[in-house]
Chain A
């Protein structure tokens, strides 16, 4: 089912829901919204399936219920941040809701950009909807809380970056036999980096030998876009045991091995080299691939396996309008080095990237109360299942058990089950208020590694030194 059909079905479902589930609360929403009639709320977010669902389904539904109009602007990832930050920095108050990606929340909190939603609702109990409860959210909501446990954003999407593989290829008897003959091992989703490389190499050669448009793996390897930087630091390095970008925040933000960091450690260099070497088995578009293109490459059936953002897993696995591999997709945990799983289970490490975002209320908003109503509306358990089916994301615990979501889980090869059971092993970006600043300071050097101007070893040495210099300049490192 394509996204438009899903939206139509969701609109219908929500209309029914509105008349049934919300009927008892409709009077409350109407009364709570009375003081804000004529208000138009403005939001800005990244153009993604979950955001489009808000714009197309939830915003009209809220307007129908309350009379408060909601205009949600969906744009590109960088434009979204650019617009939101400029608005909040200048205090113009254009936006009443902004998308907060998990990794930027610490910067926003450091700059006091956001409104304390917990505090606002406590101060104004007349705004608190009975159907909204912060306890309904999964633990992902913790990323959007301050030290006191107050929430600054209503989670709207959450997903993990998973190891996606082609079940039709992995379960093909002839291919399995050929793999066994070549490697002496059974063909199964890789548990180790060595196995992952072996599988990538096998399918690369298999594609060549059979004149197929098939390669061994995706690599998010754009040579001029931060997507490649992210894939290494947030999805690859942790699987080798290098966490938090190799920076020790408790040790004066050390990055170099010399000062106690791990960004240029032997393990980090090994991790980077492993990832760089995978490119030889990846399709030609790899060097221009961001997180979007790796999903597209997988959906086009051009690779046997890859690390793919969960937000793309839904359409790859189930949307026949866009994907050529529907029903042929399995999910697995990423390959790991020895000791990494143990560290993750002990809460001392993590095995991959847990990403997502929330809708926050800028401190500069001129319509805080009306916006708080809308944020509660999209945070209710009742609106979640259809949203999760239309765009694979789960932010409320109860959503996992909804029959529609359970059915969708089967189509997604068990992705929701993995998110529910193993989500705790993944982690979001480290809590750095200098996220984008450090990324941009080190990215040019990282791109030189990708183009071969620098070796992985020299490049990481330089990046670690640049990191410490940048953090000193910003005042974080003393």
Chain B
């Protein structure tokens, strides 16, 4: 009797497991279809009857012919009057991302450490102010930041268009310190006893931060670095406003690719080249995420509980 019951249970478990597989596979397909389509479009190499290349969106999901023409065009084409525009945009973004990564990570860690492990009068007010500032829509200050940077010549002015990149780095990294919550949550978990005993041994707060907290904080350092490094590759709107619509040599890759779809003639509606660009941009970012997945998940989970 009990044996029979056990059997039927395992059977129902099996069906429920099978059902789970089915649902997950269907969901995976839904999740992958748009991405697959972009990859396929990047390799699409179709020609019209009169021999002109079809670079726009077409209604067939699977291309009729494959080739590397889009990638070749992407890397050699002159967009918006800029020679080798795409490699330049990649390089611009890489430079901005590296500088932003260093500054932002440093600011976040220093603020998080203070908020978590040091006691001082302004601690609570500082946290409240940081929270209130975070509630203003970013775009509101974006426009003011633009005016501010413009008044000190750090947007795309005619004489020094390259200064706009400095402006963009400042805009990305300056506010980073106020996003300390996740890192603070992480530091909170580090036992205070550790800090106290180091203090008894005569360590200064600086030494404690350098020798005790930082080595333990590797996961959160990697998480913050990953976030701030990928930020400039993902952001589109700040880059567009601060670098400026008519400053094509100094665009980041997202502004450049967007303009291949919605720009001004004749550089617009180059969908297959856009797709090729997306593949080129996505590969390093996705690889980075996959390698550092563990740290990313840790950071996300910590962030969930801390808000």
Chains A and B form a bound pair: no
Interface residues of B (CB under 8 A from A): none
Interface residues of A (CB under 8 A from B): none
